[in-house]
Structures are given as C-alpha cells and as structure tokens.
C-alpha cells in the first residue's frame, strides 16, 4: 500500500512532508505529531486520558477493517479521534475525505474552532496546508490540498451527492435523518481501501445507526480490575451505594455520593470514587460478543468507565433518577442513560403489557360502595363514549410511592348510571374524564345538565391525538426560560351546534400509552388489577401492542382489528388524568 501511494503523482509533487512508512501504532504517532486545539485534554494528544482510543486507532490503521462504528459515551473524546484520524490521513495515507455532522453549522464551527487549528499547528500536517496563491483553498467547509481534498457538511442529500470518497467520517449519526448512513456508504464506490468511521452515542433500536452498529463485529469494553487483574464486563451492579433519604423523604445526595464505590465482581475488592481509582479502572480491552457480522465492519461499545473524569457518583445520581422516572411512566431519562453512559441502544418496550394480579391480590367487589383504599390520595373515573353506552374504569392512587388499584370497570348504558357511579364513588366533577372524540354535542349537553353552566366546574373532556412528543409548556423565569413537554395540552375552547361552550384537553396517545405500559411493567402494585377483574377487562387491556410503522416511528395499535380496546383507552385516559392532576409527573425537558 505504501509503495503504491508513493508512486502517486500527487505525492511525488510534494517537496516536503513525505513521511517514512509508518509502522508505529497510531496512538504513539499521534502523541508526537498531533497538537490538539480547544480540547479539554491539553495540547498534545495523550492516550492515557482515554486509553480506549487505542483500539479505534488500531482499527483505523488496519487495512482489513473498512467500516468502524464507535458507540461511545459523552466525554469519550470522539471529536479528538476524528482529529487524530483525519490528521493521519492527511499526513500518512491520503485520500479524499468527507466529514459529516448533524448540520452545516455544527461542523463548520468544529472546523473553525478545532480541526483547522489542529492541522495548522501539528508538525504532521502543517506543511500540507495550502499557502500563497493557494491559501484560499482552505475554508471552513473544505480544504483542497495538493494531494487530497477534504469536504465537510451536515448529513443531508446535498452534501452526500455524487462525491466519491476514500474516507467517510460521521459524527453523532444517531441524530441523522433515516437513509443518510446508506447514502454515506455509497460515497465509497466500493473502493478497496475505503475507510468509514462513524462515532456516536447509542440511539434507538431499529434505527439506521443501530443497524449499522449491530451488523459490525460487536465488541464490548471490558475493564481491568487493578487488584485481581481480571477484565470485567461493565454493569451498573458494580456500583454500590446507600440510597439515603433526609427527613423530608428527599434523597440526601451528599450522603449517597459519599457511599458510592465500585466493587469488582470477581475479587470483590471495593474501590472508592477517587480520580486515582477511576484512572486505573479506565484500562480496558474490547471483547467480541460473538455476533454474526459483516466481515470488514468493527463495532465498539464503551461505557462511562472509559472516561475517568466522570465521577461514579454522578453516574449513580443519573441512574437513581432515571429509574425513579420509570416508576412515573417516563422512560426518557433511562433511555438517555443507556444511550449516553452505557454505549448501548434503547429498545422500546413494544410488547403487549402483562397484567399482574398476583403481586397485590385484592377484590374490586370490596370497593363496590365507593369504599376508600388505605392511604389513597386521588381517584379518577374515565369514560369511553360509544354509539351505544359507555365503557368505564375507576382507579385510585397513592402519590409518591406510585401504587394504584382499579376499583370499578365495566360497561354502562346511560348517562344516569354514569352520574350514579360518580356519586357512589365520591368523585368530584373534576375527577371525571370523558372521551370527546365521539358525539361531542351530546356529551356537552349532558355535562351542562349534570354539572351546571360554569365551564370550570365541568367534567374534563379529553381528545387523544397522534403526537409523539407532547405539548410545550413554558416554565422557569423570563431570565431563565425553560420548556417542558407534557403529555397533555392546555385547554382548548369549542362551541357545540347548540351554542354551548366547552373546553377540551388534547393528549399524546403515544406518550400516554408508553407511560401506561411502563407502569404496568413495573409491577409491584404500581398498576393494581383485582383478582376479580372481568374477562372483558383483561382481554381489552391486552388488545394493543406497540409497533414500528416505519423506521423510528412507533405507534400503539390493535393487535387484531376486531379486538375491543375500550378499557385500555379508559386506563390511558386515567394516566392523562394523573398527569394533569400531578399524581404522576410525565414530562420531557428540552436539552
């Protein structure tokens, strides 16, 4: 390879900068020849900062490896790896290069603030930078060297078209539009010496990034115990801590942090959360998990343990918080944790949830006259409106510990019976949630008869929508504005054909159903189902499953079109009721 390269007319044309063939490992060459810029790790490249870099570099230099997926946590130094590998290509093994990031602006900022500086400062590359009459060939979007060209841009069709590349670098492809990795792969035109390097945190299962990584020879990082010298696969079980709470029932993070230590699963030695110990534990080795794979693609999956600057106590705090959110039906923080700290992909809970009647056995008949459940904080009635009659569930909740019991379920024929149920179970109007998608005029007319003319004192009318993110609410202050996404909207006003005013609240079907499935999955009495629940209830609760309609787009749908799902719908409305009334906190915060 080296000989051939030296025969290239471009390389012959260079008076300076010709390098002897490289036999040294890339990490070693980089520590002498690459001067970093704007990196948190000081000026010269230093492998000891994140020792795991070594394996990416080895694969990059290995002619047998043509494609690399590096699934790595935040703080891993993925950008530094691009800078080192890019410098190596320019200095030692040239070929046209395309670097794609999330969008044009991000990649230009990086070129300007970091990569161009690296190329200009490093002894390896500085002599290649076009000067004199050619100096305008250096831009923040591209560099036309004498011996190769380097293009950059956002991952979109405009930047991937028609170009034939030897090197393709991709930054954070978990955020790329579907199809862009495929476009990127086609830029190689099947060159034998092609090299593709994609680096990113994890993402969702079923996305293009996940498929690319999964089809590589998958290596997990195993870490060296400084005591017993055994390499250990990483799991959160290695981190031990006391989950201390203060007098108000809030976590005492100071005490929890002090209790965090890493325990080696093999020799059971305990390591406190110190810089020295984390540096020792950053030593690692990739271990192939034995999967089927494309012959020339390598995948690496690294965890927080590769980044010694990340304290174990901050990891534990994220972990505790994420798991508490699952109890509130919000998977988002746990997904972020898996994607960002564990170097893994997130599998959406997609199966039909399994109802658990065994954990907390009770009879709904014991509540038939509206009896209170011990320590109950709230109860809601949810009504699904049919052409003939209604499906109803009534469920009560304990706030804080997240436990609930279904008290009543079934079919009701008339509004009179609904009113009777409401009063028998001691429910205020604001505790009642009715589906507004069907026959809204009649629903509103009945509500006026039952609740009076004041709209604020009416039942809640809910409208489910195909909306995957939820509804934006501005929280925080004018100085520090913050946006959260709730599963329900603000009030929307409407008028019936009779001229009666009403207000509705929309909700995200997807997110409310995710939250319901999450609660059911927790078990542990979070979503109590009585042992005398009707067969209708049980089968309707298992009538839907979550499916991928097209890549990355999920929807809850009936398993068979003739299945009834009415009480599944009413329980979903019950979740929305909990969110509206603060029983469950289900919201996403913009990053």
Comparison of 226 and 523: residue with beta carbon closer to Zn ion: 226
User: Toward Zn ion, which CB reaches closer, 271 or 319?
Assistant: 271
- Cβ proximity to Zn ion: between 239 and 256 the closer is 239
Minimum distance from CB of 515 to Zn ion (Å)?
40
Paired tokens of 545: 């499953």
Are 98 and 187 in contact by the 8 Å Cβ rule? The answer is yes
Q: Which two tokens stand for residue 124?
A: 């390896």
- CA 76 to chain centroid, in Å, comes to 18
Residue 9, both tokens: 């007319």
Task: Report residue 299 CA to chain centroid gap.
Answer: 19
Q: Strand, helix or coil at 54?
A: helix
Half-sphere exposure of 260 (CA within 13 A, CB side): 21
Q: Which is nearer to Zn ion, 127 or 227 (CB)?
A: 227
| Closer to Zn ion by Cβ: residue 40 or 235 | 235
What is the DSSP annotation of 185-241? HHTTTT-TT-EEEEEE---BTTSHHHHHHHTSEEEEEEEE-TTT--EEE--GGGEE-
As a dihedral over the C-alpha atoms of residue 332, residue 591, residue 278, residue 269, rounded to 10 degrees, the angle is -20
Least distance (Å) between residue 467 CB and Zn ion = 49
Q: Of 229 and 550, which has the nearer Cβ to Zn ion?
A: 229
Our CB check for Zn ion shows the closer of 267 and 449 to be 267
- Is the separation of the CB atoms in 382 and 505 below 8 Å? no
Compute the distance between CA of residue 238 and CA of residue 521 in angstroms, rounded to an integer.
Answer: 25
Q: How far is the CB of 232 from Zn ion (least distance, A)?
A: 7
- In three state form, how does the secondary structure of 114-180 look? HHHHHHHHCCCCHHHCCCHHHHHHECCCEEECCCCEEEEEECCHHHHCCCCCCEEEEECHHHCCCCH
Q: Least distance to Zn ion from the beta carbon of 284, Å?
A: 14
Q: What angle do CA 135, 39, 44 make, to 5 degrees?
A: 80
Residue 568 three-state SS: helix
CB of 223 to Zn ion, least distance (A): 10
Q: Please, what is the minimum distance in Å from the beta carbon of residue 460 to Zn ion? A: 57
**Of the two residues 68 and 262, which places its CB atom closer to Zn ion in the complex?**
262
The residues binding Zn ion (CB under 5 A) are: 225, 227-228, 264, 266-267
Cα separation, 33 vs 122, whole angstroms: 6
CB of 303 to Zn ion, least distance (A): 17
**Nearest distance in Å: CB 266, Zn ion:** 5
């Amino acid at each position: 390879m080296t000989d051939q390269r030296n025969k290239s007319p471009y390389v012959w044309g260079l008076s300076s900068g010709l390098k002897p063939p490289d036999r040294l490992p890339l990490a070693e060459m980089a520590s002498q020849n690459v001067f970093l810029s704007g990196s948190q790790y000081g000026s010269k490249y230093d492998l000891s900062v994140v020792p795991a870099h070594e394996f990416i570099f080895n694969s990059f230099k290995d002619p047998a490896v043509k494609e690399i997926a590096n699934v790595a946590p935040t703080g891993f130094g993925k950008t530094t790896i691009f800078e080192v590998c890019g410098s190596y290509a320019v200095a030692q093994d040239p070929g046209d290069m395309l670097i794609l990031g999330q969008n044009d602006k991000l990649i230009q900022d990086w070129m300007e603030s970091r990569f161009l500086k690296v190329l200009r400062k490093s002894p390896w590359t500085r002599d290649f930078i076009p000067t004199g009459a050619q100096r305008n060939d250096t831009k923040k979007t591209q560099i036309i060297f004498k011996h190769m060209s380097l293009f950059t841009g956002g991952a979109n069709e405009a930047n991937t078209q028609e170009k034939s590349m030897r090197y393709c670098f991709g930054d954070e492809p978990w955020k790329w539009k579907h199809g862009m990795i495929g476009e990127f792969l086609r830029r190689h035109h099947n060159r034998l010496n092609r090299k593709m390097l994609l680096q990113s945190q994890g993402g969702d299962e079923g996305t293009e990034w996940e498929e690319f990584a999964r089809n590589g020879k998958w290596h997990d990082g195993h870490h060296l115990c400084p005591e017993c010298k055994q390499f250990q696969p990483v799991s959160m079980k290695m981190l031990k801590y006391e989950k201390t709470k203060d007098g108000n029932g809030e976590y005492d993070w100071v005490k929890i942090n002090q209790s965090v230590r890493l325990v080696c699963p093999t020799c059971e030695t305990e390591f406190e959360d110190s810089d020295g110990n984390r540096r020792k534990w950053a030593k690692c080795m990739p271990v192939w998990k034995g999967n089927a794979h494309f012959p020339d693609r390598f995948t690496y999956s690294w965890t927080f343990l590769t980044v010694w600057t990340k304290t174990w106590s901050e990891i534990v705090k994220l972990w505790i918080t994420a798991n508490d959110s699952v109890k509130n039906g919000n998977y988002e923080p746990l997904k972020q944790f898996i994607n960002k700290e564990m170097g893994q992909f997130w599998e959406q809970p997609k199966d039909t949830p399994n109802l658990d009647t065994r954990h907390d056995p009770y009879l709904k008949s014991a509540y038939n006259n509206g009896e209170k459940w011990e320590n109950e904080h709230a109860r809601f009635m949810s009504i699904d409106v049919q052409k003939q009659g209604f499906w109803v569930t009534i469920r009560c909740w304990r706030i804080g510990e997240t436990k609930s019991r279904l008290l009543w379920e079934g079919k009701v024929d008339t509004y009179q019976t609904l009113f009777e149920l409401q009063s028998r179970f001691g429910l205020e109007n604001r505790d009642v949630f009715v589906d507004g998608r069907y026959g809204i005029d009649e629903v509103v007319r009945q509500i006026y008869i039952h609740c009076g003319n004041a709209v604020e004192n009416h039942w809640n009318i809910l409208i489910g929508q195909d909306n995957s993110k939820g509804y934006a609410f501005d929280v925080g202050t004018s100085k520090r504005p913050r946006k959260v996404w709730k599963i329900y909207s603000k009030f929307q006003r409407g008028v019936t054909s009779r001229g009666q005013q009403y207000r509705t609240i929309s909700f995200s079907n997807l997110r409310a159903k995710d939250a319901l499935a999450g609660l059911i999955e927790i078990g542990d009495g979070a979503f109590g189902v009585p042992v005398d629940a009707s067969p209708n209830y049980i089968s309707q609760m298992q009538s839907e499953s979550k499916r991928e309609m097209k890549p990355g787009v999920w929807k809850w749908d009936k398993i068979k079109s003739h299945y009834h799902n009415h009480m599944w719908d009413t329980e979903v409305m019950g979740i929305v009721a909990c969110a509206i009334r603060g029983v469950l906190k289900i919201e996403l915060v913009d990053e």
